Amino acid sequence: MSTKSRTGPRPNADGWKYDRKLPLLHRIFTLFNILPPNQEEAFKADPKSRMPAFSEWNQLAFPLPLAFVPFLARYYYYHNVSHEMPSSMVTWLFLFAYIVFVGLLSIQQYNGFVRKYGYLDANSGRDTVPYELMPKVAFEIFAASSLRTLVIVLGCYDPKEPPSLSFWLPLQLFMLTLTEDFTYYWLHRLCHEAESCWHIHRLHHTTKHPTTMLLGYADDFQEFIDLVGSPMISWTMCPLGFDATVVWLFMLNYVQLGGHCGARLHLGSILTGPYLRPFGLELVVEDHDLHHRHGWKDAYNYGKQTRFWDSLYGTAGDRVEGFDQNLDWSMSLRP
């Protein structure tokens, strides 16, 4: 995870993906069709046209069933195989493999949205991944998938504890997400307003128009804080059981990938939007996309799950394409 690379993310840096002879790593990414569409592959959206808008309930059909698979697998095992659940190592390996699988499906879905609906700020180039940056991007995906699942297993997994979820799960997920967003908001804002902290965040801001593959493109220390630090601090402030935390993690990953996809869609956070939309405090794709177009002391929209803290502390910015009068709620959501 070196902080330096020969070239950074930039528009039209992905021409290498059309080569027939590629190293194995590069070939895997092209095979799974998870590289972000470039400007030529995406729908050419008119920035002045109305933006398709979808409620959080409309979006849940994809990530919600996937997020419950680990709980259902544990429930079946406990009631039909053994009351002694698998070891921590086996559980971690399963979660690690499954979160990679769900992540690939999520990226493919967001890429499908881009191909159908286009990118925000379509007149500007959307950043793609250079050939020489692929090892770093691949390692970031591995680190995110392995570390987040490992921390959950080490922190709250007990093989002797039966699987369980509370009737209050939706509210629990909302409260943990709001807490995590509070932690992230202040750490993120500090990186923009304190010169001593900006140097650990500036690499992430070299991409002005991000895509899903660049979610973890950052300095070593920021990667660790984003992957482990902020969620772990938040969980200690608002602890949940193992099964609820796993559901939260899968939903959180889906939202965070969406926040960097750049799709010209009004998509709210599925973890907080249903509660905050009546108050105009929901976070949508454009909010974080706008944040990336600014740098040190020139940014706004520091939250990553809500606009609650930005609105409370006066750092929320106006939307350029997805303002209320420009939204079209008449369409159905599908790639």
pLDDT digits (tens, 9 = 90+) for 236-245: 898 999 999 9
What is the model's pLDDT at position 3? 39
SS3 at position 91: helix
> Exposure pattern of 209-238 as b/e (b: 16+ CB <10 Å)?
bbbbbbbbbbbeebbebbbbbbbbbbbeee
Residue at token pair 């902290």: 197
Residue 226 above 80 pLDDT?
Answer: no
pLDDT of residue 150: 94
What values do phi and psi take at 41, rounded to 5? -90, -15
pLDDT, one tens digit per residue, over 119-165 is: 999 988 899 999 999 999 999 899 889 999 999 999 999 999 999 99
Q: Are 52 and 137 in contact (CB under 8 A)?
A: no
Predicted model pTM: 0.92
Residue with tokens 């950074």: 8
Average pLDDT value over all residues in the chain = 90
SS3 per-residue string spanning 166-189: CCCHHHHHHHHHHHHHHHHHHHHH
What pLDDT digit, counting tens, does each position of 200-225 carry? 888 888 889 999 988 888 887 777 77
For 289-305, letters b (16+ CB in 10 Å) and e give: bbbbbeebeebbbbbbb
Closest among 141, 149, 105 to 245, alpha carbons compared: 149
Can you tell me the mean pLDDT for 300-319? Answer: 95
Task: Assess contact for 165 and 247: CB atoms under 8 A.
Answer: yes
Strand 10-11 and strand 51-54: the pairing is unpaired
- The span from the CA of 127 to the CA of 125, in Å, is 6
CB 223, CB 143: distance < 8 Å = yes
Token output for 275:
């509660």
Sign of the CA dihedral running 252, 253, 258, 260:
positive
pLDDT > 80? residue 331 = no
* Block residue for tokens 């990186």: 191
Count the residues in the chain.
335
Q: So what's the pLDDT on residue 209? A: 92
User: Residue 251: which residues within 8 A CB-CB, separation 6 or more?
Assistant: 63, 64, 67, 173, 270, 271
| Percent above pLDDT 90 for the chain | 68
User: Nearest 5°: phi and psi at 60?
Assistant: -60, -20
Residue 6 clears pLDDT 50, i.e. is over it: no
- pLDDT, tens digit, 9 for 90 and up, residues 80-109: 999 889 999 999 999 999 999 999 999 999
Q: Is the pLDDT of residue 25 over 50?
A: yes
Statement: residue 333 has pLDDT above 80: no
